[in-house]
């Protein structure tokens, strides 16, 4: 900008003009190249506005229906904007520093940094809707969002508003990439830049204290941190907890047992002559939903079953549960599931043991591919069949199983893993996300349909004279959350709605409706089934044979995707320990089965320390046992 002012002021025979950018440079006594970076501060305001839009949508979708844009929604978005404003201010200041050396380098930095902030903010609009937590490397990897060849895994969960915000972020990012080609940086002028600095700093000064007052607990601060910062920290600074991870010799073995008379009668086992074993895994079905009116056929099966309603998954994750069911072991406390990252893990599995006894083995599922299960199961079962159309033809899995059974009169052992009740429950993901009422409705519909299929399968076995000598096992891999504790789906926490699953052993020759309410574990399923089938269990199994008069004194569980949380249930007490923040929760599940009243503050310091040390002792023991098996040669 150049304009004559007043008279003909001359310096060296040339007319002097009013130049705000030049005057600002002189006042700041900086290098002349600084003027080339001043417009970046205006772009910083654009980035901040975009991030505020993301915050507003997240706050809007977090409201219970009917969703309305209210003043409270706007205030919530402003209250969470502080970390975004701070991040944008840091980017702007770094850009100014880089500009002293090169305007092109500053433009490149601005393009990368601003684009990263906007893209992570836009992605979090969808991620927060599903998980109620910001994106982390663990979560993106689990959700297959990092697989660029399967980008639909991200876009299928996005609503129209999500796509609009993400598209806006990509357009603005592309525009920043063109900044180095712009030569006339001074076209915006100094006064505009000065106001930009003030406006960029003002939200941070207002929002950060407001956020501290409104959201003082560590979990809220972490959840509402800047999306880009949170994602970067999850990659370059993995969580490191405050507890010391060592085995404490003064504590009892975490695999300690106590005596309890088994509900399974030994004479009945000897007289049953079990030839076939059929395991049906109910995807994402917790005990409460199996006990409901949505599963009439499954409830009728209890009359000829031994029912264990308090079975606990080691982690609310299908890959982890598959490993526990097959290998009879606790998975290591890590977001890296062994079936996905170590498919050749040298532990003899349930199907391999049953196959060695002369039984045909097979696995059926409507969808294995999304968890890389085929790589783990390859070679461990004689037949592996996946129905590609996972949401519209789960009946095909049951039909394929029936066809496979009829191909031979040889005894068989088969595993059928359902899928219809997995999020998003066979519906449009963009409609399910953030709509708990619709999610529950679709989920219950999925349970009803799975219940019908299981009922028809059992009736078919009876009609074909195969039911009496077949042990039918109904088990859940994990439960499902519907915002009871702020999250939807599973894998994020260890509350009972996600880790407590049903276990039912069905055979009318052996059982007549007995119920064992004692807490047991998924790792106990494999040794129990081998015992009932009269097959020796591998030495690597960590679980108990539930036909024997022993039960685990404590059942442990963990979650390692969004944050590392571990816990156990012993008697009437249940403990959840957040490893990074050193927060302990305690619940009396007899009085408070839904875990709504945390009574950890009533624990004496010594009792609290003992609980934490016991949890860490269990983790150390599991890591040690896993490493011992890992270093052993694979047996086929």
Q: What is the mean pLDDT of residues 318-331?
A: 93
- d(C-alpha 131, C-alpha 490), whole Å: 8
Q: What is the mean pLDDT of residues 28-50?
A: 62
Q: Give residue 376's pLDDT.
A: 86
Half-sphere exposure of 40 (CA within 13 A, CB side): 35
Choose between 407 and 43: higher pLDDT. 407
Choose between 358 and 8: higher pLDDT. 358
pLDDT in tens, 301-313: 999 999 999 999 9
Angle between helices 40-61 and 82-99 (to 10 degrees): 160
- d(C-alpha 627, C-alpha 631), whole Å: 6
Residue carrying the six token digits 């706050």: 59
Is the pLDDT at 2 greater than 70? The verdict is no
Dihedral of CA atoms 13, 18, 23, 26 in degrees, nearest 10, equals: 0
Omega before 66 cis (within 30°)? yes
Reading phi first (left if > 0) and then psi (alpha if -120 to 50, else beta), residue 197 is in alpha
pLDDT in tens, 261-309: 887 777 767 666 889 999 999 999 999 888 888 899 999 999 999 999 9
- d(C-alpha 358, C-alpha 353), whole Å: 9
The pTM score is 0.77
Q: What is the mean pLDDT of residues 38-47?
A: 72
Residue 499 C-alpha from the chain's centroid: 13
For 304-339, what is the HEC assignment?
Answer: HEEEEEEEECCECCHHHHHHHHHHCCCCCCCCCCHH
- d(C-alpha 141, C-alpha 334), whole Å: 13
pLDDT > 90 fraction of the chain, expressed in percent and rounded: 34
- d(C-alpha 453, C-alpha 443), whole Å: 15
Residue 379 C-alpha from the chain's centroid: 29
Reading phi first (left if > 0) and then psi (alpha if -120 to 50, else beta), residue 347 is in beta
- d(C-alpha 415, C-alpha 270), whole Å: 24
Half-sphere exposure of 361 (CA within 13 A, CB side): 17
- Count of Cβ atoms closer than 10 Å to residue 633 Cβ: 5
Helices and strands per DSSP (H, E), number in the chain: 24, 21
Q: Give residue 500's pLDDT.
A: 95
Q: What is the mean pLDDT of residues 82-94?
A: 84
Q: Residues 73, 60: contact at Cβ < 8 Å?
A: yes
Three-state SS for 4? strand
Q: Give residue 40's pLDDT.
A: 67
Weakest-pLDDT range from 185-189, 281-285, 609-613: 185-189
Is the pLDDT at 215 greater than 50? The verdict is no
């Amino acid at each position: 900008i150049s304009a004559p002012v007043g008279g003909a002021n001359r310096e060296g025979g040339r007319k002097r003009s009013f130049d705000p950018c030049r005057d600002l440079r002189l006042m700041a006594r900086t290098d002349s190249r600084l003027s080339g970076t001043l417009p970046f501060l205006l772009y910083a305001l654009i980035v901040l506005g975009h991030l505020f839009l993301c915050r507003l949508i997240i706050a809007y979708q977090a409201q219970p229906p009917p969703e309305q844009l209210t003043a409270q929604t706007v205030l919530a978005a402003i209250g969470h904007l502080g970390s975004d404003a701070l991040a944008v201010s840091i980017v702007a200041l770094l850009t100014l520093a880089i500009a002293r050396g090169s305007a092109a380098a500053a433009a490149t930095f601005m393009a990368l940094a601003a684009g990263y902030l906007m893209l992570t903010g836009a992605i979090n609009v969808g991620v927060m809707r599903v998980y109620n937590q910001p994106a982390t490397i663990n979560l993106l990897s689990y959700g297959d969002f990092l697989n660029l060849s399967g980008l639909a895994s991200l876009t299928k969960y996005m609503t129209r508003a999500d796509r609009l915000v993400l598209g806006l972020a990509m357009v603005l990012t592309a525009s920043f990439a063109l900044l180095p080609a712009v030569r006339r940086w001074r076209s915006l002028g100094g006064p505009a830049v000065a106001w930009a600095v003030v406006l960029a700093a003002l939200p941070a000064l207002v929002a950060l204290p407001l956020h501290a007052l409104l959201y003082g607990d560590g979990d809220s601060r972490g959840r509402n941190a800047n999306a880009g910062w949170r994602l970067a920290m999850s990659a370059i600074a993995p969580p490191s907890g405050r507890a010391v991870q060592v085995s404490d010799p003064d504590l009892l073995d975490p695999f300690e047992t106590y005596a309890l008379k088994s509900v399974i009668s030994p004479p009945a086992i000897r007289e049953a002559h079990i030839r076939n074993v059929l395991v049906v895994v109910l995807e994402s079905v917790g005990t409460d939903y199996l006990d409901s009116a949505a599963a009439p056929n499954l409830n009728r099966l209890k009359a000829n079953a031994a029912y264990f309603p308090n079975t606990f998954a080691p982690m609310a994750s299908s890959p982890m549960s598959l490993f526990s069911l097959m290998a009879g072991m606790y998975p290591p406390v890590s977001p890296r599931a062994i079936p996905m990252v170590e498919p050749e893990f040298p532990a003899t599995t349930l199907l391999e043991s049953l196959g060695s006894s002369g039984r045909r083995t097979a696995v059926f599922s409507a969808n294995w591919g999304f968890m890389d299960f085929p790589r783990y199961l390859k070679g461990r079962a004689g037949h592996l069949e996946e129905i590609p159309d996972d949401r519209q033809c789960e009946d095909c899995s049951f039909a394929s199983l029936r066809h496979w059974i009829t191909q031979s009169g040889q005894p068989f052992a088969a595993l059928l893993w359902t899928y219809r009740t997995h999020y998003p429950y066979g519906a449009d993901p963009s409609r399910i996300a953030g709509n708990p009422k619709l999610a529950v409705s679709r989920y219950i519909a999925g349970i009803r349909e799975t219940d019908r299929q299981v009922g028809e399968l059992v009736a078919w076995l009876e009609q074909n004279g195969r039911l009496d000598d077949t042990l039918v096992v109904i088990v859940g891999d994990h439960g499902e959350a519907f915002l009871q504790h702020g999250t939807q789906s599973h894998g994020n926490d260890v509350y009972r709605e996600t880790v407590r699953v049903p276990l039912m052993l069905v055979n009318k020759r052996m059982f007549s409706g007995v119920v064992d309410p004692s807490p047991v574990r998924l790792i106990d399923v494999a040794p129990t089934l081998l015992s009932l089938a009269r097959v020796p269990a591998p030495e690597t199994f960590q679980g108990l044979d539930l036909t024997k008069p022993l039960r685990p004194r404590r059942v442990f569980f963990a979650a390692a995707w969004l944050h590392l949380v571990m816990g156990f249930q012993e008697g009437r007490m249940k403990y959840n320990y957040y490893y990074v923040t050193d927060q302990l929760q305690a619940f009396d599940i007899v009085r408070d089965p839904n875990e709504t009243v945390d009574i950890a503050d009533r624990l004496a310091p010594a009792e609290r320390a003992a609980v934490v040390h016991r949890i860490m002792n269990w983790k150390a023991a599991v890591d040690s046992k896993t490493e011992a098996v890992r270093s052993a040669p694979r047996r086929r």
